[in-house]
């Protein structure tokens, strides 16, 4: 399985002005640097949570469909929608499309799920073909920053603040690559599903 970001979010969960207010920075000479920190902090927290914040489009690639009618679990929740059709290479090596009428999408669960409708099973793909199935989907809390949970936005501000003050790694015997404890505490309820699903 692999996932590829096809359309990145159109904006960040926090604005430059919000980040500067958090940092207590009034000057504008480091605006580009702070904007880069916001983007990096958001991407880092999304990767740690294995989630999508602002609406974005992903491409999920599988070597084959699950067996029978077992669901496809869609990473980087919350799932908004699945772009129909699902593309796949059939048993004869021919490119095919699976229309939305053949499957159900569960966007309420996390992670989201895609499952054949009652009485249907997944098609057979050509053995040995890598990335034989392509699912394109939209994920995120919404198109506006207001859709992102407040604790997530605060965690992004804290990480931006940490990186702004500490621009080089701090060595105390070894360099820690963990999310700082305060930020982890904010995100733990969201991150916990990864542990339950065996992702983390």
Same-domain check for residues 66 and 115: yes
CATH number of the domain within which 40 lies: 1.10.3230.30
Closest CA to 11 of 146, 114, 119, 130: 146
- 126 and 65, same domain (yes or no): yes
Residues 73 and 36 both lie in one domain:
no
185 falls in which pLDDT band (50, 70, 90)? Answer: low
Tokens 């499309």 correspond to 97
> Are 113 and 172 part of one and the same domain?
no
CB neighbourhood size of 14 (10 A): 21
97, 125: one domain = yes
Residue of 165, 198, 186 whose CA lies nearest to 73: 198
Q: Are residues 63 and 135 in the same domain?
A: yes
Residue range of the domain that includes 88: 56-139
The predicted-structure confidence for 96-115, as pLDDT tens digits, reads as follows 999 999 999 999 999 999 99
Check whether residue 130 and residue 92 sit in a common domain: yes
Pair (60, 133) in one structural domain: yes
92 and 46 assigned to the same domain:
no
Residue 145 sits at φ, ψ, to 5 deg, of -60, -30
What is the reported pTM? 0.85
Give the whole-angstrom CA distance, residue 48 versus residue 113: 21
Q: State the Cα–Cα distance between residues 57 and 7, nearest whole angstrom.
A: 5
Task: Provide the strand spans (E) within 50-143.
Answer: 56-62, 72-74, 79-89, 95-98, 103-106, 112-116, 133-139
Number of folded domains that form the chain: 2
82 pLDDT higher than 70: yes
Residues counted in the chain: 200
Instruction: Compute the mean pLDDT over every residue in the chain, rounded to the nearest whole number.
Output: 89
The pLDDT value recorded for residue 126 is 96
The residue out of 139, 165, 187 marking a domain boundary is 139
pLDDT digits (tens, 9 = 90+) for 35-47: 999 999 999 999 8
Q: For 161, which DSSP code?
A: H
Residue 155 and residue 135 share a domain: no
The pLDDT value recorded for residue 26 is 95
Per-residue pLDDT tens for 51-77? 999 999 999 999 999 999 999 999 999
Is the same domain home to 132 and 81? yes
Among 139, 163, 186, identify where a domain stops. Answer: 139
Same domain for 116 and 171, yes or no, is no
Distance of CA 40 to CAs 29, 133, 156, 172, Å?
Answer: 19, 30, 9, 24
Facing residues of 44 across strands?
A: none
3-state DSSP helix/strand/coil percent for the chain, to nearest 5? 30, 25, 40
Please give the span between the terminal C-alpha atoms of the chain, in angstroms, as a whole number.
16
């Amino acid at each position: 399985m692999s996932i590829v970001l096809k359309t990145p979010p159109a904006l960040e969960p926090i604005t430059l002005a919000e980040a500067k207010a958090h940092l207590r920075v009034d000057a504008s000479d480091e605006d580009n640097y702070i904007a880069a920190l916001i983007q990096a902090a958001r991407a880092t927290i999304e990767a740690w949570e294995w989630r999508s914040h602002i609406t974005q489009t992903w491409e999920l690639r599988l070597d084959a469909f699950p067996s029978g009618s077992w669901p496809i679990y869609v990473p980087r929740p919350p799932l908004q929608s699945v772009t129909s059709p699902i593309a796949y290479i059939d048993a004869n090596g021919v490119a095919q499309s699976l229309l939305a009428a053949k499957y159900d999408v569960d966007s309420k669960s996390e992670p989201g799920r895609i499952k054949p409708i009652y009485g249907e099973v997944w098609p057979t793909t050509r053995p040995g073909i890598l990335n034989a199935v392509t699912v394109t989907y939209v994920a995120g809390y919404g198109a506006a920053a207001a859709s992102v949970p407040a604790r997530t936005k605060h965690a992004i501000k804290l990480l931006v603040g940490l990186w702004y003050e500490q621009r080089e790694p701090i060595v105390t015997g070894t360099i820690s690559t963990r999310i700082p404890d305060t930020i982890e505490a904010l995100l733990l309820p969201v991150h916990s599903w990864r542990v339950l699903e065996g992702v983390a």
